[in-house]
Amino acid sequence: MSAPRCRRIARLAPLIATAILISAAAHADSGGGMIERTPLPDGNPFPISAAVTVPSGFDMVFVSGTLPSVVNKDAPKGSVEAYGDMETQATSTLTSVQSTLARLGLSMGDVVKMTVFMVADPTKDNKLDFAGLMAGYTKFFGTAEQPNKPARSAVQVAALVAPGALVEIEVIAAKSHKNPPRRSGPDKPRG
């Protein structure tokens, strides 16, 4: 190849690279894909997904860790009795998450990832009440009304910020750009 031809190709290379990047970005922004939920292997019926794949064209919504509400105002402040057992706390926490999602135009079916932080229950010999967590969780996920299952991690921690709380849950939800979540607060577009 001649030197002038090499120089012409070298000058065109950035333009070609830019065109390829613009084409790739346009393709990525077109979205249109569906969220894929990979089931657990071997027909395992546990109500979580092994993985969730969110294609381009989706807004990701990160919901902060949510704690349970006090259910017994007569119980000592900061006690497990004030918040209830693990099932009561998990149900309360997930109901609160559901309300936050609803304010954004989302539902529990849009949850793609969940992290659950749990502490041992002092009323149960300082043992983790995973069965209680699952009793609350299965009211929201893997049901006939709401079959979508998120990828999920559940971990035991030494303590939560609210004494007496046994569980804190954070989620990530995804919604197609075709049906974007409503926005509020200081980031709301002004027009």
CATH number of the domain encompassing residue 119 = 3.30.1330.40
Residue 59 and residue 16 share a domain:
no
Structure tokens at 66: 């949510």
Residue 24 and residue 71 share a domain:
no
Residue 44 and residue 25 share a domain:
no
Using alpha carbons, list the distances in angstroms from residue 101 to 148, 160, 172, 183.
Answer: 15, 23, 10, 11
In a domain, 56, yes or no: yes
pLDDT value, residue 27: 45
Residue 43 and residue 26 share a domain:
no
- Interhelix angle 86-103/130-137, rounded to 10 degrees, is 40
Split into its structural domains, the chain has a count of 2
Residue 116 and residue 53 share a domain:
yes
pLDDT value, residue 2: 65
pLDDT value, residue 33: 80
pLDDT value, residue 3: 62
Residue 153, domain extent: 36-181
In a domain, 136, yes or no: yes
Residue 100 and residue 26 share a domain:
no
Tens-digit pLDDT profile for the chain (191 aa)?
666 665 665 566 565 655 554 444 444 444 458 999 999 999 999 999 999 999 999 999 999 999 999 999 999 999 999 999 999 999 999 999 999 999 999 999 999 999 999 999 999 999 999 999 999 999 999 999 999 999 999 999 999 999 999 999 999 999 987 765 554 444 443 33
Residue 172 and residue 96 share a domain:
yes
pLDDT value, residue 106: 96
